[in-house]
Amino acid sequence: LRVEAWRALCDVDESSASGPPLHELSPETVSQVRRDVERSLWNLLPETTKRLGLDSDGTGDVSKRARTRAKLSLKKRRESLNALILSYLRHSGSHYYQGLHDVAGVVSLVHSGCTPLALAVLLRMGQSWMSVPSREDFNPLITAVRHTIYPLLKKFDPPLHTYLTKMGVEPFFCIPWVLTFFTHSSKSLSSASRLLDVAVASHQSFVLFMCVAAVVLERSHVMGGGQMHPDEGHAECHRRLCEVAGRIEGGGRWQEVVERAIGYIKKVPPMRIGKGKEGGTYWEDPGTWAVRGRGEAAWARGRGGGRKVRKRNRRKMELVMDEGTKGGEGNVGGGMGETRARIAAGNSKGNKGGTTQIAIAVAIAAVMVGAFKAFNS
Amino acid sequence: MSESKMEDPGGPQSEADVIKVILLGDSAVGKSKLIERYLMDDYNPRQDSTYALTLFRKNVELDDGTSAKVDFWDTAGQERFNSMHPSYYYQAHICILVFDVTRKQTYKQLSEWYRELREYCPEIPCILVANKIDVDYQVTKKNFKFASQHNLPFFFVSAADGTNVVKIFDEAIREGVQYKINGKTDFVTECLELFDDSPLTAANSGDSDGKDGHK
């Protein structure tokens, strides 16, 4: 079901990545990918981890037969993941970064391996929020984080902003969140794939709003719950900030984060973030998530441009937000509201097979809402 | 905490009595596992990658009977994370440099890590650690010249079975305390402390390109 939803959301099919790989990989990259893959998927496959006796409390079933089966299963899945990442890098020419394997791990498991569709979806993600960390180095990413997180926090939670800036904490705590769309903190495939639902259905900068929303949601913990020692420094504060994603995962509160972030992006469209004295915005920097040149419709497959198109796309974005907030009786219905709106937006742009897409997507969304509610319960 | 209190927390940015221990080394050499073994006396073969900057804190009793807070900073080994390293090195008191005895490349990379360490922290003590000796204990008979070339204390360790792990961290804390007491301050740290304004403040006001923040 999710495979079909992502196919529609990303506007890809099995033939999207059918061309030959164009980029060669260095032995260092191949080696790095292999090392990371060998350390991956634990969090997404808690049952397998348990059978291997490697769950956190060490109480898993460790019978020899179960362990052997689990080992083989994990090995097979990791081979698929390795193949998927290498294919992605060869097709996209992107630079590999630690964290990409977490995202690819979710995509691989959702698609049951390194399928053409999995590769197409990953390539599409690579053009979205993953495009910035996939550059030659992390400088654009660092710039993006520095220029957005605190300004947004200043707008949406001034006391917390004051606190963090006084403590002198760099916003590096959210780097792992941005790199993996929070999936590094997930304890199950359900949770991680739900996060990637949001990733494929939202603006490429949405993860930054999610970071701010997460910190605000956990503001009490971040600020030491009012029990801050007078001598406490930035290190302890950084440590607490790093715990935020894990706490949200533990409390099953991702939907709250998403809804809060939707509220933020409605109030501060990405184009307005980081407006400097010269009148330019951070978004105009071609080294970062360049949105402006292509209009706000970059979130919708990177098309658009021109005032009329931007206006129309703003309307679509509002539709996404409205739908997102409407869906929310259950914890995750809102996201599927986004899905419907996003696909509707795609159709209004004249995408191929639009009517069919809507029909399929609405049906998928309806079923997924039910499934997610069940998952949350 | 009330809103009014949150407006002005009044906390200083750094804690005076904290020892900062940093770990350096290539990806997957076992930096995080060493910390896990030391802090929890535990080792789970289930591994995970570390991104950005991770901090673990422990209260440690010192040789003189007093106690100190020790921050263990862990970071990603992939080169592209170097952009964040100025924060990592800032006010560090001791470095544990780690390589994996089963991967020669991680030993070769030591010179690069050491060069970067000395660029940011010319003075702090550094301990060299050869991890994963449990794979083949014969490796302990080998001679690793890097330690003698740079006059570094050198230990064979295994996060998997715990060999020497407590010893190296105790040694690191001792050296870190000594370094802190002696009052040596790295040139880079001194320079940074000359700046009154937090880089964050500058970045937020739109006056900075944000590339010179170091905390």
Between chain A and chain B, the number of residue pairs with CB atoms below 8 A apart is 166
| Cβ pair B1:A220 closer than 8 A | yes
Distance, first Cα to last Cα, chain A: 19
Q: Is A20 on the interface with B (CB under 8 A)?
A: no
CB A192 within 8 Å of CB A239: no
- Distance (Å) from the alpha carbon of A376 to chain B's nearest alpha carbon: 26
Nearest C-alpha in A relative to B74: A239
Residue bearing the bigger pLDDT, A256 or A284: A256
Mutation target for A interface from B5, B13, B31: give the one with most A CBs within 10 A.
Answer: B13
Q: Report the C-alpha gap between A367 and A317 in whole angstroms.
A: 23
* C-alpha pair distances (Å), A249 with each of A190, A254, B46: 11, 7, 20
Of A242-251, A268-277, A302-311, B139-148, which range is least confident? A302-311
Which residues are registered as beta bridge partners of B129?
A: B98, B155
Q: Is A318 on the interface with B (CB under 8 A)?
A: no
Of B47, B55, B203, the CB nearest to A39: B47
* C-alpha pair distances (Å), A180 with each of A3, A159, B140: 19, 28, 39
Residue bearing the bigger pLDDT, A329 or B73: B73
Domain locations along chain B: 4-8+16-201
Residue bearing the bigger pLDDT, A283 or A321: A283
Q: pLDDT tens digits, residue range A7-20?
A: 988 888 888 877 77
- Residue B167: which of B158, B70, B102 has the closest Cα? B158
Confidence of residue A58 (pLDDT cuts 50, 70, 90): low
Residues with Cβ within 8 Å of residue A255, at least 6 apart in sequence: A328, A331, A332, A334, A335, A376
- Residue whose structure tokens are 């993600």: A125
A63 pLDDT exceeds 50?
yes
Q: pLDDT tens digits, residue range B128-160?
A: 999 999 999 999 998 899 999 999 999 999 999
Q: pLDDT tens digits, residue range B79-123?
A: 888 888 888 898 899 999 999 999 999 999 999 999 999 999 999
- Across chain A, what does the average pLDDT equal? 75
Which segments of B9-112 are extended strands (E)? Answer: 18-24, 53-61, 67-75, 94-100
Confidence of residue A132 (pLDDT cuts 50, 70, 90): confident
Query: For chain A, what percent of residues have pLDDT higher than 90?
Result: 38
Average pLDDT estimate for A240-264: 94
| Cβ pair B15:A231 closer than 8 A | yes
The CATH code of the domain at B4-8+16-201 is 3.40.50.300
Average pLDDT estimate for A225-231: 60
Residue bearing the bigger pLDDT, B198 or A118: A118
Q: Report the C-alpha gap between A123 and A21 in whole angstroms.
A: 12
Query: For chain A, what percent of residues have pLDDT higher than 70?
Result: 67
A315 pLDDT exceeds 90?
no
- Across chain B, what does the average pLDDT equal? 79
Question: Residue B51: what pLDDT?
Answer: 77
User: For residue B207, how many other CB atoms are within 10 A of its CB?
Assistant: 12
Instruction: Enter the pTM of the model.
Output: 0.75
**Burial class of B188 by CB neighbour count within 10 A (0 to 12, 13 to 18, 19+):** middle
- Distance (Å) from the alpha carbon of B213 to chain A's nearest alpha carbon: 8
Which segments of chain A are extended strands (E)? Answer: none
Identify the DSSP state of B103.
Answer: -
Q: Report the C-alpha gap between A331 and A139 in whole angstroms.
A: 36
The whole-angstrom distance between residue A210's C-alpha and the CA centroid of its chain comes to: 9
Radius of gyration of chain A (CA): 21
Q: Which two tokens stand for residue B62?
A: 């010192």
CB A239 within 8 Å of CB A363: no
Most confident of A273-277, A367-371, B33-37: B33-37
Query: For chain B, what percent of residues have pLDDT higher than 70?
Result: 73
- Residue B163: which of B34, B24, B47 has the closest Cα? B34
- Residue whose structure tokens are 């996003």: A342
Nearest C-alpha in B relative to A274: B206
- B96: three-class secondary structure by DSSP: strand
Q: At what angle do helices A2-10 and A100-110 cross, to 10 degrees?
A: 120
Question: Residue B193: what pLDDT?
Answer: 57
Residue bearing the bigger pLDDT, A146 or B44: A146
A299 pLDDT exceeds 90?
no
- Residue A58: which of B161, B45, B32 has the closest Cα? B45
Q: Is A240 on the interface with B (CB under 8 A)?
A: no
Residue bearing the bigger pLDDT, A306 or A68: A68
B67-75, strands of its sheet edge to edge: B53-61, B67-75, B18-24, B94-100, B126-131, B154-156
Q: Report the C-alpha gap between B204 and A170 in whole angstroms.
A: 12
| Cβ pair B28:A39 closer than 8 A | yes
Question: Residue A174: what pLDDT?
Answer: 93
Q: pLDDT tens digits, residue range A174-225?
A: 999 999 999 998 889 999 999 999 999 988 889 999 999 999 999 999 988 7
